[in-house]
Structures are given as C-alpha cells and as structure tokens.
Amino acid sequence: MSFLDTFFNAAVMARYAPDILRGLLVTIRLAALVVVTGLGTGLALALLRSLGIRPLNWAIVFVVDAFRALPPLIIIVLIYFGLPGAGWAPSPFVSTWVSLALVLMAFAEEIFWAGLTAIPAGQWEAARSTGLGFGQTLAHVVLPQALRLTIPPLTNRTIAITKGTALGSVVALSEILGAASSAVSNSYNPSPLTLGTAAYLVLFIPVVAFGRWVETRFAWKR
C-alpha cells in the first residue's frame, strides 16, 4: 500500500467525513462555551476582588492558583470519574466544558486583575472627585482602559486553553480527535486522523493568525 492510500484514502475519508464533521461541530460548540463562561467568570472574580474584602480575596487567589497549577487533563478526569462518587455524573461534554472553563477563569482572573491594578490611582481619584461612584468609575473609566491592556495576553491564553477541547477525547467525548480516533480503530486506517488534523488546522490557524494580529494591533508601548 502506498503512502497516499494509507494516509489519504479517499474511500475511508468519505465514509468517516460525516463523523469528523459532527466532531468539528462539538469542538466549536465546546470552545465557544468555554470562552464565554471562562472569560465571564474570570472577569466577575476580578471585579469581586477589586472590592477588597480580605477573606474573599484569599479564597479567590487560592482558587485561581489551584486551577493554574493543575493540568487541565487531571481536572477533566477528576470531574468525569470522581464526581459520580458524590452523586453527580456529568456527561463527557459537561466535564470537559466545566474543566476548561475553570482553567480559563483562573488565567483570565489573573490577567484582568493585573490590568485593573495597572490603572493609576489618579484615574480613580479624578473620577471620584467629579462625583462618580465606585461602580460608575469602574465601568466607565477603569475597566475600558484595563480591558485594552489585557487583550493581547488574554487572546493568547484563550487560544491555548481552547485547544484543550481535544482533551475531551480522553473521557470519550466525540469531538474531532475522539471521532477521528474511533474511526481509525474501526477502519484500521489512519486517514480519519489526517482528516481530523486538517479540521483542527482549519479551525485554529485563523485563530492563531488573529492572535498575531491582535498582538501587533494592541502592542504595549515599551
């Protein structure tokens, strides 16, 4: 058998293309959910932290540190295989989603927080001296500046974590890699893996290119 027949077998590809496509849709849905919930909760935690309530801040820092230190794969495995012991058996999709969202939340909180604290005290003082309240100052003066500062590191981190959707295959989630792997074992031909690889590249190369563009567009003045 030639190399082409092995890795680019048209018949096998045609047979399993629908599976891979379904996997692609799962990956996209999962990635979108992770990004929205991860960034949302990360921002919420950073804002909560800006209230300056000591015990609460210690708790936030601990949670953030924990999810930065743990490999995402062990979080997925822990939730999927461990939580049933506590009476809740989340699906592969939910396990992967929750795990990656927690990881993105942790990294995003850290970045948002650094951005918030990078805004000089004078900005707060000027706004408060005109009668704006804490929330108004945060919303109209501090946050818009902080967000701009955080866009480049946040974009890169978000891309890196979103790629983790492939980890879902370890808990039998039929996203691209999962679908491709089972197709390989069913067909005893690696062409579905070729297809899966192509799907990942089609999905993520534009995202990485976007990340590069963002990095130059919002480059920090040194």
Partner 1 sequence: MIETFLNLDILRAAWPVLLHGLGITLLLSAMTIPLGLGAGLGLALLSTVRTRWVRWPLIAYVDLFRAFPPLVLLILLYAGLPFAGIEMGGFGCVAVGFFLNTGAYYGEVLRAGIESVPAGHSEAARATGLSRLQTLIWVVLPQAIRNVAPDLLSNTLEVVKLTSLASVVAIPELLFQSRQAQALTYNPTPLVAASVIYFVVLWPLVRLLSRLEHRAIAGRR
Partner 2 sequence: MIQARAIHKHFGALHVLRGVDLAVAERELVFVIGPSGSGKSTLLRCLNRLEEPSSGSIVIDGIDLLDKRTDINRVRQRIGMVFQSFNLYPHMTALGNVTLAVRKVGGKSRAEADAIGLAALERVGLADRADHHPAQLSGGQQQRVAIARAVALEPRVMLFDEPTSALDPELVGGVLKVMRELRESGMTMVVVSHEMGFARSAADRVIFMADGAIVEQGTPEAVFGAPVEARTRAFIGQIQRHA
Terminal CA-CA length for the chain: 57
Q: Which does 29 bind (CB under 5 to 8 A by kind): partner 2, partner 1, none?
A: none
> Kind and range of the H or E element at 171?
none
Residue 148 neighbours by CB distance under 10 Å: 12
Positions in the binding site for partner 1 (CB under 8 A): 3, 6-7, 65-66, 68-75, 77-78, 81-82, 85-86, 110-111, 113-115, 117-118, 120, 149-150, 153, 159-160, 163-167, 169-170, 176-177, 181, 184, 189-190, 193-194, 196-197, 200-201, 204-205, 207-209, 211-212, 220-222
Sketch the per residue contact string, 107 through 126, with partner 2: x for CB under 8 A, - otherwise: -------------x-xx-xx
Q: Residue with structure tokens 């370890």?
A: 170
Q: Which does 196 bind (CB under 5 to 8 A by kind): partner 2, partner 1, none?
A: partner 1
Residue 18 engages partner 2 in binding (rule: CB under 8 A): no
List helix spans (H) across the chain. 3-7, 10-50, 54-69, 72-77, 92-118, 121-129, 134-137, 143-162, 176-187, 191-217
Identify the DSSP state of 172.
Answer: T
We find the least distance from the C-beta atom of residue 120 to partner 2, in angstroms, to be 8
* Nearer Cβ to partner 1 (37/182): 182
Sketch the per residue contact string, 136 through 165, with partner 2: x for CB under 8 A, - otherwise: x---xx--xx--x-----------------
Residue 30 neighbours by CB distance under 10 Å: 22
Residue 52 engages partner 2 in binding (rule: CB under 8 A): no
Residues 6+ away with beta carbon under 8 Å from 132: 140, 141
* Nearer Cβ to partner 1 (140/212): 212
Whether 175 and 27 have beta carbons less than 8 Å apart is answered as: yes
> Shortest CA distance to 171 belongs to which of 181, 163, 159?
181
* Nearer Cβ to partner 2 (76/142): 142
User: Contact positions toward partner 2, by CB under 8 A?
Assistant: 120, 122-123, 125-133, 136, 140-141, 144-145, 148
